[in-house]
Amino acid sequence: MNLFRFIASGIFFAIFISWAYIPPVSSQAVPGFIAQERINKLFKEFPELKERTEQFKAFETPRGNQEKVNLKEVLQEQTIFSPLLHSGADPKGILDLIFENVTSTCANHFRYALNSIFWFNGVPETWVLQMFDSYGKIPSGILSGHTSTLGDFHECVQIRGEYTPEGSTEAQIVNGRYATTYVFPGPELMKLIEQAPGNSSTMEVLSPGLRESVSFQVLIGYIMDLTSLPWMVPMAGACFPESCSIEDIQQILTSYHVHVSQDYVSQVVVATYTDEKPSFDVSDYVMIVVLAFIGVLCLSGTLWDIQRSPKEGNSHDSPGFAMKLLLAFSFYTNTKKWASTKVGSDNLGCLHGLRFLSMAWVVLCHTFSMILSQPTWNLVDVKMLYRDWSFYPIMNGTPSVDTFFALSGTLVAYSLLKELDKTKGKLNYPLFVIHRYLRLTPTYLILMGVMATLLPYFGNGPLWYTMDAESKGCQDFWWHNALYVNNLITHETTGCYGEAWYLANDMQFYLLSPLVIYPLWRWKRIGFGILTVLSIASVVIPAWIIADKSLPPTLTPSINLKTYMADIYLKPWARFGPYVIGLGLGYILHYRVRNLGKFRAIPKLVIAAGWALCTALALAVIFGGMYYFDPVNADDTFSSFHTAIYGGLHRTIWGVCICWIIFACVSGYGGWVNKFLSLKLFMPLGRLTFCMYITAYHIQFIYHSSVPHAEHFSMYRVVNIFFAHMVMSGLTAYILTMALESPFIHLEKMIFASRTPARPVQQANNLKLEEANVSNKSASDLSIKIENGK
């Protein structure tokens, strides 16, 4: 209470000071005042501008006199069809060639639009002007990587016009269809580039204040490089009548570039959009009914819970099964459990901070990867980021996920060893698996259902075809994810829920973990032998695959990844190292509980050396890979022995570092690190991390796929968008945790209540080691709590 009063007093004092002493500064911060100040300054420096604005206000432009402001002449020079104006060819003959093999309605509508812009006298109809106005124009900053010009998506799809064919009195409706296209250098342009003399204008050495820029030849090289990120293949937005199909548009562009632009450019249509979404089908309605039913349960359960709460203290009646089922969906009770910061005497408090901070790191890395995949103004700057050492915690940030593997292995081993102590070596393996599956899968399945049905309706934009592909992937392959084998199957097209590779790996590790944990409990030497063999294998297997297939050692977007994702990144046999290290830590923590004296007198020198080595190894993992990101070193990267060594070691070493932090904090040697990671603030935040993991990526994906224009890359923007994504992901995760994850955890407990001994009521997500010593169910409960933070 004293802390609350102190904070409240501080806030009141800050507000008072701001109100009393800084009103002029506050008023100047209002955007309206800033804009007015700029206008006044402009008028002062250029008084004739004010006179012209006043003169313009006095103009009266008749509606029929639009020729005075002739947008037509501007558009004639700024679309991909501008060469038509200067070709000198017969308009009818050239248009006949362009519209060959195109459906008649499409040909009539677009022929009329082209004639209106290039050959007819007078001002075209508004819809024709809108159509060509929405085309992508040649952008500025091309040599800095501004190679994509998406035009105006919304102007195009919102076109509403009429066209009356010759010899007819009945007008036809013309709507707009936006086309996302990739533009490649054509064969004739490639010949010119090959014949051109060498160009040495590339800016190799730049002062930090300059934007990266390259010569035209180097730019073409970047454009043609489809093996590294970011792609710099130019994207161009185009607009056609809705009557034109994607095949029609491709035929028009191909014929145009062959017959008019002389094959200097090739253009490929990847997707088209109109202003109308497909109608709901049966599966969409089923998903809406499921979500509505869950919503009704949550609303009813919450209202009933609030109504009965004041009477609960005076009542000795226990609610029946149906009422317990309804109350499981109560936001009121679920929120109280989520916000609880009560801890037991044997609490692993540092895990809360590790879970949430690692989740934030994952979101930050995904934010950067999203920017790599969307049109960006200064892509050459992004291309050169491998030179900036300070950016490597993001560029080489994949160990953030290995943190969760280490945490998961630790909790599974500790809890199962405690259970084996209690049951004297008896393990109900089917129940061990069923509990795990029921804890994770219901929420996961519902979100996959949303992905497969309703996702396409969440937005639109030039890049929205990527979201349509995600939805189609879940329609076709959802069952791979439901069986947790999606990481073992290679999909020719987009799979379902790309980030769920982690859930599949972790489930597979969990299912196999008793093969290591039981020998550790029964035969210690054999168990340690298995751990040793697996630890060595976790290094040798990925190192051997990397050396055999000449792969990069980690996820290196700046050079050719080859088959790294399919052969290394997604596969359990290349990712189990941190999990095995976690299993070893779980055994140590279990042994520590029974031998506390041996852990209370570790020499300070050993502790200091442990922290120093942990810090050095963690920095080596992140920054030691810098060499492999430099394209200059690509050939050496694919052939060197040290590449295989780094690729085999770095994830397992990261697991060692994380396990040291946990051990030191739990054993009382964590100092300020333990105090920070154990802050009670991280307890409720950590409980959101499972739902954050399975939703954050697609929340980010939806935003970045909806961006209608290229945006400028900067570190400030990355950080700014990261915090926006964290807030949106956190809010979404809270709703899903209250409405899906917590209710299904409670229902699973109700279903299996008769199979387990009676025990005290436990908080659903409280990470207390003592929970692991209760029942066979708790052997998976405790591990789920930390694994839900993935």
Query: d(Cα 145, Cα 223) in Å, to the nearest integer?
Result: 9
Look at 110-114, 144-148, 326-330, 771-775 and tell me which has the smallest mean pLDDT.
771-775
Residue that wins the pLDDT comparison between 746 and 218 = 746
Q: pLDDT value at position 114? A: 94
- Confidence class of residue 317 from pLDDT cuts 50, 70 and 90? low
Residue 775, pLDDT > 70, answer: no
Query: d(Cα 614, Cα 634) in Å, to the nearest integer?
Result: 29
Query: d(Cα 537, Cα 561) in Å, to the nearest integer?
Result: 23
Query: d(Cα 729, Cα 363) in Å, to the nearest integer?
Result: 9
Question: Concatenated DSSP letters for 253-276?
Answer: HHHHHHHTSTTSEEEEEEEEE-S-
pTM score, whole prediction: 0.86
- Confidence class of residue 90 from pLDDT cuts 50, 70 and 90? confident
- Confidence class of residue 166 from pLDDT cuts 50, 70 and 90? confident
Look at 589-603, 720-734, 776-790 and tell me which has the smallest mean pLDDT.
776-790
Residue 512, pLDDT > 50, answer: yes
Q: Tens of pLDDT along 573-596?
A: 999 999 999 999 999 999 988 887
Cis (ω within 30 of 0) for the bond into 230? yes
C-alpha 241: how far from chain center: 34
Bridge partner residues of 182 (DSSP):
235, 268
Residue 768, pLDDT > 50, answer: no
Please, are residues 648 and 660 in contact by the beta-carbon 8 Å criterion?
no
| Closest to 110 measured CA to CA, from 176, 180, 55 | 176
Residue type, 774: V
Residue 515, pLDDT > 70, answer: yes
Query: d(Cα 563, Cα 649) in Å, to the nearest integer?
Result: 19
Residue 206, pLDDT > 80, answer: no
Look at 192-196, 362-366, 493-497 and tell me which has the smallest mean pLDDT.
192-196
Q: Tens of pLDDT along 780-789?
A: 343 444 334 3
Q: pLDDT value at position 635? A: 94
> What b/e string do you get for 100-139 counting C-beta neighbours within 10 Å, with b at 16 or more?
eebeebbbbbbbbbbebbbeeeebbbebbbbbbbbbbbeb
Q: pLDDT value at position 150? A: 94
| Closest to 327 measured CA to CA, from 292, 300, 296, 290 | 300
Q: Tens of pLDDT along 538-570?
A: 999 999 999 999 999 999 999 999 999 999 999
| Cα angle: 45, vertex 48, 49; to 5 degrees | 80
Task: Identify the H or E element spanning 163.
Answer: strand 160-163
Tell me the average pLDDT across 367-388: 90
Bridge partner residues of 234 (DSSP):
none
Query: d(Cα 140, Cα 66) in Å, to the nearest integer?
Result: 29
- Confidence class of residue 203 from pLDDT cuts 50, 70 and 90? very low
Where do runs of H (alpha helix) occur along 280-328? 282-312, 321-327
Q: Tens of pLDDT along 675-691?
A: 999 999 999 999 999 99
C-alpha 625: how far from chain center: 23
Q: pLDDT value at position 788? A: 40
Count CB atoms within 10 A of the CB of residue 659: 24
Query: d(Cα 123, Cα 66) in Å, to the nearest integer?
Result: 7
Please, are residues 436 and 780 in contact by the beta-carbon 8 Å criterion?
yes
Look at 70-74, 266-270, 339-343, 712-716 and tell me which has the smallest mean pLDDT.
70-74
Q: pLDDT value at position 108? A: 94
C-alpha 448: how far from chain center: 16
Q: Any residues with CB less than 8 A from the CB of 387 and at least 6 apart, and which?
A: 630
Residue 329, pLDDT > 50, answer: yes
Residue 763, pLDDT > 70, answer: no
Look at 38-52, 156-170, 603-617 and tell me which has the smallest mean pLDDT.
38-52
Residue 790, pLDDT > 50, answer: no
Where do runs of H (alpha helix) occur along 550-624? 564, 577-594, 604-623
Q: pLDDT value at position 56? A: 60
From residue 535, give the alpha-carbon distance in Å to each of 23, 253, 527: 64, 57, 12
Residue type, 553: P
Query: d(Cα 300, Cα 135) in Å, to the nearest integer?
Result: 51
- Confidence class of residue 322 from pLDDT cuts 50, 70 and 90? confident
Look at 11-25, 484-498, 612-626 and tell me which has the smallest mean pLDDT.
11-25
Per the prediction, the chain carries an average pLDDT of 85
Instruction: Provide the 8-state DSSP code for 184.
Output: E
Q: pLDDT value at position 21? A: 38
Please, are residues 421 and 776 in contact by the beta-carbon 8 Å criterion?
no
Q: What is the gyration radius of the CA atoms in the chain, in angstroms?
A: 31
- Confidence class of residue 270 from pLDDT cuts 50, 70 and 90? very high
Q: pLDDT value at position 196? A: 62
Bridge partner residues of 177 (DSSP):
240
Tokens of 307: 């109504």
Q: Any residues with CB less than 8 A from the CB of 44 and at least 6 apart, and which?
A: none
Q: pLDDT value at position 289? A: 97
Assign 102 to helix, strand or coil.
Answer: coil
Query: d(Cα 231, Cα 372) in Å, to the nearest integer?
Result: 8
Q: pLDDT value at position 782? A: 38
Query: d(Cα 781, Cα 690) in Å, to the nearest integer?
Result: 14
Pairing of strands 160-163, 235-241: unpaired
Question: Concatenated DSSP letters for 238-257?
Answer: EEEETTS-HHHHHHHHHHHH
Tokens of 261: 């632009």
Question: Concatenated DSSP letters for 470-494?
Answer: HHHHHHHHHHHHHTT-TTTS--SS-
| Closest to 77 measured CA to CA, from 120, 135, 164 | 135
